[in-house]
Amino acid sequence: MLFCLVAPTLFAQDYVDLLRIGYGQTFNNDFEGTANSTFVKSFDADLTVPIVLNDDHAVITGAVYNRSNLQLQPEGPFTSLHSTIIKVGLASTYNDRWSSTVVFLPKVASDYVNSTGEDFYFGGVGLLKYQKTEHLKYRFGLYASTEAFGVFTTPIVGWYYLSPNNKFEMDVSLPIAVDINYTMDIITLGMDYVGIGRSFRITENDANVYADVTELNFATYLQFNALQKSVLLRAKFGYSSSNYELYRNGETIDLGLSAFSFGDDREPLNPEISGGLYLKFEAIYRFNISDKSPATPVLDGDE
C-alpha cells in the first residue's frame, strides 16, 4: 500500500509529502527446493494533490504506480508486474480532537500485456484520528480491496508522535507500516517496515494465472534533507520477504483478513520464493506547512 492521506487539523505534522519516487532491488531470492534463484527490481511513484476546500475539509486526489520485475518460475523469463492506483477521497476535521479520512482506491494490476476489465480492482481505506495531545495522535481504520484471489481486508491501528524538539518521530499504522526516525539537522537516521499484499493477473501468452504477492520489508535508512527539508534523499538497506505465488484464475479464498486466509485450498503453481536482502533509494518532495501564511489551512500527512 503506497498512498498519502492528507487532512486538515489544528494539531498535526507540519508537512505533506506530495511526491515520492523509489527504486530498489533484492538480492538472491531462492526458489525453495531448487538450486535456482531470482531477484526483484522495483520502481514506484506516489503523487498526492490535496485540494483544500476550507478549514475543515480537503479533497484528496493523486495516483500511485508500481512496477516489479522478476522470474516467477525457476529458469523462467523475467516478468514485469504493474499496478496503477487512482486516489480520490475526502479529509474532514470535526473539532480540535477528531478528524477522519476516507479514500477510494480503484486500480488496474497485471503484466499490462493483454489487459482486460478483469484487471480492474476496487479498494478503499477509512481512518478516524484522535488528537490526544499536541504531540501525539491516534488513528484507527480499515483497508479493504478486491483482488484476483478474493476480498482482502485489514484493520489499522496506530499513532503519530513528534517530540517537542521536532527531532524524534514515530509514524505507526499496524500492520501496514512503521517509520521511526531521529533528525540531526540535514541528516536523518531511521528504520521502517512496510507490509504489502496485492495480486496481478498474468495475461501474456494466455497464461490464465495470477500472482498473489506478499512483501514484508524491514529496513534502516540514511536520509539527506536538502533545500530546507523540502527535498529528501533516502538510502535504505534491509530484508524483504518478496514472495510471489502463482495460482490459476478462478482459484480464490473466502476472505483475507490481515495475515490470515480463510477458506484457502489453492495449490501454488511455482516454488515458494524466499526472502533476501534489499537496497532501495527514494526521493521525496515535501511541502513544509510551517512556512505557511496565517491564512493557510493547516494540513497533516498520514501514510
Q: Which helix H or strand E contains 276, and what residues bound it?
A: strand 276-288
Q: Looking at the domain assignment, is residue 73 inside a domain?
A: yes
Q: Looking at the domain assignment, is residue 303 inside a domain?
A: no
Confidence of residue 293 (pLDDT cuts 50, 70, 90): very low
Q: pLDDT (tens digit, 9 = 90+) per residue, 218-236? A: 999 999 999 988 999 999 9
Q: How far apart are CA 276 and CA 288, in angstroms?
A: 36
Pairing relationship of beta strands 41-52 and 255-257 according to DSSP bridges: unpaired
Confidence of residue 149 (pLDDT cuts 50, 70, 90): very high
CATH number reported for the structural domain that contains residue 112 in this entry: 2.40.160
Confidence of residue 206 (pLDDT cuts 50, 70, 90): confident
Sign of CA dihedral 107, 111, 112, 118: negative
Closest CA to 6 of 67, 81, 88: 88
Confidence of residue 178 (pLDDT cuts 50, 70, 90): very high
Give me the phi and psi of 216, to 5 degrees please.
-120, 110
Mean of the pLDDT values across residues 206-213? Answer: 90
Q: Looking at the domain assignment, is residue 251 inside a domain?
A: yes
User: Lowest mean pLDDT: which of 45-49, 167-171, 257-261, 295-299?
Assistant: 295-299
Q: What is the pLDDT of residue 289?
A: 66
Q: pLDDT (tens digit, 9 = 90+) per residue, 70-101? A: 999 998 999 999 999 999 999 999 999 999 99
**pLDDT over threshold 80, residue 132:** yes
3-state SS assignment for residue 143: strand
95's grid cell: 473539532
- CB-CB contact of 103 with 5 (8 Å): yes
Q: pLDDT (tens digit, 9 = 90+) per residue, 234-287? A: 999 999 988 899 999 999 888 877 767 777 889 999 999 999 999 999 999 998
Q: What is the pTM of this model?
A: 0.87
Number of domains the chain is built from: 1
Q: Which residues contact 170 (CB under 8 A, 6 or more apart)?
A: 159, 160, 161, 179, 180
Q: What is the pLDDT of residue 242?
A: 82
Average pLDDT score over the chain: 88
Q: What is the pLDDT of residue 259?
A: 67
Q: Which structural domain, as residue segments, surrounds residue 141?
A: 5-298
Mean of the pLDDT values across residues 198-223? Answer: 92
